[in-house]
Structure 1
Amino acid sequence: MSESSLTPRRLAWAVTVAVIAIALSGLVIGVDRAVLLLAVFAAAGAVARIVTPVERAFAVRRRAIDVGVLLVLAAALAYLGLTTPLS
């Protein structure tokens, strides 16, 4: 296998591990903060999708759709993390 075919797989695993780690961190730092971290992670994904060249991006949709969905997800998570009483 070439290095370029392994990179998306490694990236997918890294993102999966990061999301699981953030979710589990909710046990230590609190659920509201973990939800805010997930919102930041989604926003970072939107930024990464904007700056990644088309030939390097793992994409099946247009860039605008990916970025829009990630930003809506980030906004929804941030809203829930800031307004939902979890304590």
Structure 2
Amino acid sequence: MVSPRTAPIRTGNTSTFTLKQRRLHIILLDPRERPYAGREYVLRVGRTEHCGTTASDGSLSHEVPGLATGELLLHLPPPDPGPDEPPPPAATRPGQPPR
């Protein structure tokens, strides 16, 4: 929860405003609709940052400021080569013919 903040206003008085929070719940699936389970992420919303690992169903859930925008960075492994893709070239030394 965001702590109350105090701000000066033109009358010389100060007022305390409490921002409402919302529960953000996202389920992350890959293109084959399998969950991105156990993946590290960083969620930035407004001035808050949440770091964590997705649950076994690919979900994450946090309280975030109600009117803020944000971004989600999900750490993924490199993609596996598909069955039609050639394997990466073998390392060669300069002047040596490719294998």
Q: Which bracket does the TM-score occupy, shorter chain normalised? A: under 0.3
TM-score (norm 2): 0.23
Larger relative CO (CA 8 A, sep 6+): 1 or 2? 1
More helix by share: 1
TM-score (norm 1): 0.25
More strand by share: 2
> Which protein is bigger by CA-based radius of gyration?
2
